[in-house]
Amino acid sequence: MPERELAQLAGLGWIGKNMMLIHPEIGSFTFIGVVLTDADLEPDLPFEADRCGTCRRCLDACPTQAFVGPRDLDARACISYLTIEHRGEFTDTQAAQVGDWLFGCDVCQDVCPWNVSFARETLDAGFAPRADVARPDVRELTTMEENAFQRRYDGTPFTRPGHRGMRRNAAAVRDR
């Protein structure tokens, strides 16, 4: 599913230079959900405006300069890709790119004026941060056995890189 394009066509916001779908009233710290249905619904109008204007804060702030240009991301250099989706060990260059980001990256959203002004913490308890996930012990992660990892992080986004991936990320952060 091209979720961001569908969200823009559904009138939810525009695709920012940082590639994120930005809602004009809540910013971009959102997930996009999709419902497939044959219900006869009246479609909303697409969101046509591009409200980035001349701003380029996200492009300049990216720690790895992963943006080739506006809305043009070299995912191979993105910390989110490296720490969540990349399989296998890091090369020295990749470990240096990861820096002290253990899991994912939000820098290109943190600096966005639409988040600075409008993003609010969620009231949904289901998204409330868990201390052991939000602030994990990096040294403990580097040596954690698979069973212990699964017991602690089952059902969390850490299962995407998994035990091997998180140990690799933690070692890169520890040795930076």
Tokens 């017991």 locate to 151
9 binds ligand B12 (CB under 6 A): no
Q: Would you call 154 helix, strand, or coil by DSSP?
A: coil
Cβ 90 to ligand B12 shortest distance, Å: 15
- Residue 45: phi and psi, rounded to 5, are -80, 145
Vertex 28, ends 47 and 130: CA angle to 5°? 150
Binding test (CB under 6 A) with ligand SF4, winner from 26, 32, 56, 142: 56
CB-based closest residue to ligand B12? 104
Binding test (CB under 6 A) with ligand B12, winner from 52, 59, 73, 171: 73
Using the minimum distance from each CB to ligand SF4, give the nearer residue, 28 or 149.
28
Of 64, 127, 109, whose CA–CA distance to 90 is shortest? 64
7 binds ligand SF4 (CB under 6 A): no
84 binds ligand SF4 (CB under 6 A): no
55 binds ligand B12 (CB under 6 A): no
Binding test (CB under 6 A) with ligand B12, winner from 9, 26, 30, 61: 30
71 binds ligand B12 (CB under 6 A): yes
Cβ 94 to ligand SF4 shortest distance, Å: 12
94 binds ligand B12 (CB under 6 A): no
- Residue 124: phi and psi, rounded to 5, are -80, 115
**Which sign, positive or negative, has the C-alpha torsion 41, 45, 46, 51?**
negative
Spatial distance between the Cα atoms of 59 and 70, rounded to a whole number of angstroms: 7
